[in-house]
Structure 1
Amino acid sequence: MGKSLYIAEKPSVAQEFAKALRVNSVRKDGYLESEDSVVTWCVGHLVTMSYPEVYDEKYKRWSLATLPFIPEKFLYEVIPSVKKQFQIVSGLLKRKDVDAIYVCTDSGREGEYIYRLVEQMAGVKGKVRKRVWIDSQTEEEILHGIQTAKDLSEYDNLASSAYLRAKEDYLMGINFSRLLSLKYGNAISNYLGTRYTVISVGRVMTCVLGMVVRREWEIRNFVKTPFYRVVATQSLGDGKEFPGEFRAVQGSDWYQSPKLYKENGFKEEKDAKELIRILEKNQPLQAVLERIEKKRETKNPPLLYNLAELQNECSRYLKISPDETLKIVQELYEKKLVTYPRTDARVLSTAVSKEIYKNIRGLAALDYAGGFVQEVLAGEAYKKIASTRYVNDKQITDHYAIIPTGQGLSALRSVGGHGAKIYEMIVRRFLSIFYPPAVYQKVNLVSMIGKERFFSNFRILQEPGYLKVAGMPKEKKNTEGDGENLDADPALLNALSALKKGSILPVKGLSIKEGETSPPKRYNSGSMILAMENAGSLIEDEELRSQIKGSGIGTSATRAEILKKLVANKYLALNKKTQVLTPTQLGEMIFCVVNVSIRSLLNPELTASWEKGLTYVAEGTISQEEYMVKLTTFIRRHTDQVMAGNYQTALKGMFDQLSTYYQKTTKPAPRRAAAKKEEQTV
């Protein structure tokens, strides 16, 4: 009987497989072996796509005459720095005593691609090949994954989408980077006084650059509009007072007046003063309660973390980049503390929900979670979790949400940086779904002074529910009088609740609150990840985001790397303290070049549609041949358009406008010799 070969993506993962399989032999050079098993590993990618000059020496020199570069057959080569490990893995794959291969690379498109390239270069034939698909690195999950491993051919469509993703990034990067560098690189260099400029273009990267630049332009072009609101301070007696805000609703003398900025503010202060003068004619100055509405409002625990949601919250609260968050949560995964991090799902699978008590029970030893664990296990909610919105097999593609495994707690001491805090965030989010909603008491009032109506809204937390696990919100008093007063005093709320329609309320005074419109917010690294996930729309509402379906820009595995590359290229600047993203002068200039030449690269919806197409290939809805026809047609068409265009003069005018926002300091642009890495994103 032959041996089984297990191939992991990293040495640390291979070690976990070896433990689970009881491969206790001495570690050999690049693998572990027992009587019936061999465990080896890649070190990330071992094989990559060849540069154009490998196809023909003429492609080494950048020239418009050689574009577009679209080979009939793509060439691949072993990465020199990991050649030794490739030879080890290749030799094991072809060993005569190995008759079954278990592919244990990361369970996703990129992990599939890593193995398929190795198999392709090694020339493996005549072996049984199984795909191990796991959601955590616990021994139980590893053994279950091996026992239920499917034939590798069932993942052929996923492999096709992985190959296409790489070809797409390769062809767009090489062709459009060379094309725009040759056509307009000198325009940037001459303007900045540098030797030459490589314009690095990428399917996802350029789109994200466009989102940041457009937002910056919106902020620059924003004109603040002042407005003036009238607030009535109404008395309940016993020193209790509450504000009410004027709104020009139907029945008001100011209804739809051109003097208004929206219904609750005047464009000019003199008109607000005129309203007060008219109202003060009513003596004694008092308000009549026209309507009071009291109701309970519930707020459900949020959905579980996917990678984008976790990166957003870590950027917001911990002020760390998405790339750093991914590194930390990957470490937590490799130490068996959490499930697979590169996931887009925010729910659990039905199968996992049936065993969820194991995850909960394993958290009992945590100081901040032990009491909550006891409460959860003493209740019934965890037994019925499968019937809630937190379990939905249809919303899961590769992996379910990020949750704690309940194992490996001893490893927490060795997790660096913000690891313990991020783990706590994941634990609290997980446990909160087994708690009831938070309950608020709301009181909304409408009072009248003369013919004009004043509105007051109050809310107070009555039952914390899941908030005692997830953390109480930092609510602040609404001093603007617009919306809800969130930290209303309980005594005040009780007094308000006792009011009845027709109650007379003395008005202690009328005042003017001056405000002004605010410009759009800049993206920070976390909100950009969310915007990428939602195809360019920054949807801040957590509930609404959960309803968005379809592929976004990039994938959960690549978005952080895209931002990191834009910062490394000096196209974007990242404030490490605030995580706010802003364009650089070079980044804005490159945006202008793309905007006049290949504008569709800046379109988030179009960029997302490419990703959606890859999903269709993975699902088997469209063939890889169909996708390649669409891709090559796109590249040829836009190459011809750029060749025919000439926007040098127009760009000079754009650069002049941009320069007023930057100090006139220049830095050397990247050397063309170093551009190979810029043009190939694989």
Structure 2
Amino acid sequence: MKLYIAEKPSLARAIADALPKPQKKQDGFIELANGDCVSWCIGHLLEQAEPDEYDERFKKWRFEHLPIVPEQWQLKPKPKTRKQLTVLKKLIKQATQIVHAGDPDREGQLLVDQVIDQVKLSQAKKQQIQRLLISDLNLNAVKKALNNLRSNREFIPLSVSALARSRADWLFGMNLTRAYTLAGQKAGFGNVLSVGRVQTPILGLVVNRDNEIANFTAKPFYEVLAHLKTQNQQTFTAKWQPSKACEPYQDDEGRVLHRGLAENVVSRITDQPATVSELEQKQKKQQAPLPYNLSALQIDAAKAFSMPAQSVLDICQNLYERHKLITYPRSDNRYLPKDHHREAAGIIAAIAHNNGQPNEACNKADSSKRSKCFNDSKVAAHHAIVPTVKQLRTAALNADEQKVYRLICRQYLAQFYPDYIFNETKVSVMIAGGLFKTTAKQDVSLGFKALMGKTELKDEQTLPPLEKGQQLHCYEAQLVDKMTSPPAHFTDATLLSAMTGISRYVKDSEIKKILKETDGLGTEATRAGIIELLFKRRFLKRQGKSIIATETGQALISALPLALASPDLTAKWEASLSNIAEQQMSYQQFLTPLLDELQQLVEQAKHCDSQVFAQLPKTPPKRRFKRKAKSKAKPA
């Protein structure tokens, strides 16, 4: 009997639909006419055991127990899905051939591997396990995947990497959450102070931004504009570029802080001759942006519709599992395999049929065009999020699903549009020894930009015909008074952007390099959930569209060492986990130094300044603290 194990029931149904009929629905699996079976997990069927399941003493949270490090790691069945785990274990024992059909990512690999490991299979049987990678639940796509099974052995390093991350997160999250909760309790604060490898640096980002805004002092600065005209009375404007001699009067960003200096420039250039000293004119092209991965989609949906990241992910799961209108949504990849191009015409037709984009926009797409997104070398286990060939019979999408679907369709359709072409002119003008510059851009052909809501030609500034050495006249000089402004509070879009581009917030050059090479803080599948968790744990709150830290969030970050409140630790971990997945590092080489670091961090927690928690809400009833402590001590 061949057994297919899917990660979710929806995937199991899609696999069964692509296999021979007739079929019989059994309790927890689908039986085929030839005796083969398709069964499923319901997400994670197993979870890490709690500390008190290793030792009864750990029910009571005490500093002297920390750090708690299991000698033999234990998994336990999740109570709500124990029945399905029992079904799967029985089927695994009966199967002569097993096909692993977890989602095509690190967690999907580990999730099914752990269920299989619950049954003590022979080494020979384990060696024969096959891997089925599905990123599109439509019938033809599933049939194609079924004809391209791979050996599950190829994915063992990926599974080990996920296992290392899972255990490391448990060790850090559980031990440091207990340590800082106990520190808070000493000061009379009664709630759980959750600490996690990813959630805490994200909170640190928000706290640092809030503090930067709170401590910001606005300062005036000055710009000088030269209004110029040609001999034919055609006008344009250029901005003064301060020379090196002006540096003592500028801030770090080159802004002039001394009004007298700017006034002097105004008086010197008014009603003076000017000369075009440099002229650079180029026609440039801009290619369409790549199709979406999850983070890029969440960022654009937040900008366009103010949608929280978790809502976008939930909508995508519906579009993927229920409606089958998009490919696998938890993807970190923005490229497509070359052979996916053969489906372009069918996908564009489906977009038009499903109102994913207007018919006119679909008709203008050239399905024979092959953009840079079609690149086998850039595609790993999963590819970009794109529409499928599925055509809806009715208007089955709700308003939010339609919005997200249209974004995905627009980004895909852009791959079959021409480049955006524009002329860019850079002009340098000398006036009374001072340098003034301006840049102008004129649209030549909108190309894919026509899809992005840009419906007419717009120029930054229209320049008259100019030549190098041409004589001009500065008929007016203008002093512009400005004030420095603080950075903006984070929003859903900018916080997600910060998580994916976290290297911008790191000073250490080596760690910055690591973070540039990884996917930032968290994964595509976890970022939305981590942000929501920080709201749930009342470390963050919303003020309109702004995301700010609560008093509790501020207090926790102030008590933590920089190593926990910055992304540096995550950078090191992600580099190591990638090395494990690529077989350049072993599990033990990763875990051993991590345990040494954990010991040091627990000691720091014991001696932290717990008085920062003294002004926060006092201890709630004791039984409530105990109940919460057990349920919330899990890492994020």
TM-score (norm 2): 0.89
Deviation, 1:563, is 0.7
* Distance across 2 between alignment mates of 1:134 and 1:677: 34
Residue matched to 2:581: 618
Residue matched to 1:638: 601
Secondary structure of residue in 1 paired with 2:403: helix
Residue matched to 1:77: 76
Matched, 1:343 2:331: yes
Matched, 1:272 2:272: no
* Distance across 1 between alignment mates of 2:498 and 2:247: 37
TM-score (norm 1): 0.84
* Distance across 2 between alignment mates of 1:249 and 1:329: 52
Deviation, 1:525, is 2.0
* Distance across 1 between alignment mates of 2:253 and 2:76: 66
**Distance of aligned partners of 1:563 and 1:511 in 2 relative to their CA distance in 1, 3 Å threshold:** same
**Distance of aligned partners of 1:204 and 1:263 in 2 relative to their CA distance in 1, 3 Å threshold:** closer
Residue matched to 1:675: 629
Aligned positions of 1:201-600 closer than 5 A: 201-235=195-229, 241-249=235-243, 255-256=245-246, 258-260=248-250, 266-280=256-270, 282=271, 285-334=272-321, 335-353=323-341, 356-366=344-354, 368-377=357-366, 380-382=368-370, 385=371, 388=372, 390-410=373-393, 413-472=395-454, 486-488=459-461, 492-493=462-463, 496-497=464-465, 499-537=466-504, 548-575=516-543, 577-578=544-545, 580-595=546-561, 599-600=562-563
Contact 1:530–1:538 (8 Å) recurs in 2: no
Secondary structure of residue in 2 paired with 1:418: helix
Deviation, 1:30, is 2.1
Contact 2:223–2:240 (8 Å) recurs in 1: yes
Secondary structure of residue in 1 paired with 2:217: coil
The amino acid that maps onto 2:66 is L
* Distance across 2 between alignment mates of 1:615 and 1:260: 44
* Distance across 1 between alignment mates of 2:217 and 2:619: 33
Secondary structure of residue in 2 paired with 1:200: coil
Residue matched to 2:154: 154
Secondary structure of residue in 2 paired with 1:344: coil
* Distance across 2 between alignment mates of 1:463 and 1:205: 44
**Distance of aligned partners of 1:258 and 1:616 in 2 relative to their CA distance in 1, 3 Å threshold:** closer
Residue matched to 1:57: 56
**Distance of aligned partners of 1:655 and 1:243 in 2 relative to their CA distance in 1, 3 Å threshold:** farther
269-278 or 322-331, which moves further after superposition?
A: 269-278
**Distance of aligned partners of 1:179 and 1:473 in 2 relative to their CA distance in 1, 3 Å threshold:** farther
The amino acid that maps onto 2:7 is E
Provide, for residues 39-93 of structure 1, a one-character-per-residue CA deviation record: whole Å limited to 9, x for no partner.
2222111111111111121111111222111111011111111222222222222
The amino acid that maps onto 1:279 is I
The amino acid that maps onto 1:338 is I
**Distance of aligned partners of 1:23 and 1:213 in 2 relative to their CA distance in 1, 3 Å threshold:** farther
Contact 1:30–1:88 (8 Å) recurs in 2: yes
Secondary structure of residue in 1 paired with 2:504: coil
* Distance across 1 between alignment mates of 2:120 and 2:456: 59
* Distance across 2 between alignment mates of 1:552 and 1:475: 37
**Distance of aligned partners of 1:287 and 1:264 in 2 relative to their CA distance in 1, 3 Å threshold:** farther
The percentage of counterpart residues that share the same residue type is: 28
Deviation, 1:133, is 0.9
Q: Which one of 565, 573, 584 corresponds to residue 602 of structure 1?
A: 565
Q: Which one of 19, 26, 29 corresponds to residue 28 of structure 1?
A: 26
Secondary structure of residue in 1 paired with 2:534: helix
Residue matched to 2:509: none
Residue matched to 2:101: 104
363-372 or 442-451, which moves further after superposition?
A: 363-372
Provide, for residues 85-104 of structure 1, a one-character-per-residue CA deviation record: whole Å limited to 9, x for no partner.
22222222233xx3222222
- The number of equivalent residue pairs is 622
Aligned positions of 1:32-47 closer than 5 A: 32-36=30-34, 37-47=36-46
667-676 or 456-465, which moves further after superposition?
A: 667-676
* Distance across 2 between alignment mates of 1:103 and 1:374: 40
Contact 2:20–2:33 (8 Å) recurs in 1: no
* Distance across 2 between alignment mates of 1:23 and 1:15: 13
Deviation, 1:474, is 9.9
Secondary structure of residue in 2 paired with 1:83: helix
* Distance across 2 between alignment mates of 1:220 and 1:474: 41
The amino acid that maps onto 1:329 is C
414-423 or 159-168, which moves further after superposition?
A: 414-423
Secondary structure of residue in 2 paired with 1:601: helix
**Distance of aligned partners of 1:261 and 1:173 in 2 relative to their CA distance in 1, 3 Å threshold:** closer
Deviation, 1:167, is 0.8
Q: Which one of 12, 18, 21 corresponds to residue 16 of structure 2?
A: 18
Matched, 1:66 2:65: yes
* Distance across 1 between alignment mates of 2:52 and 2:276: 81
**Distance of aligned partners of 1:430 and 1:581 in 2 relative to their CA distance in 1, 3 Å threshold:** same
Deviation, 1:354, is 5.5
Q: Which one of 111, 114, 119 corresponds to residue 117 of structure 1?
A: 114
Deviation, 1:665, is 7.9
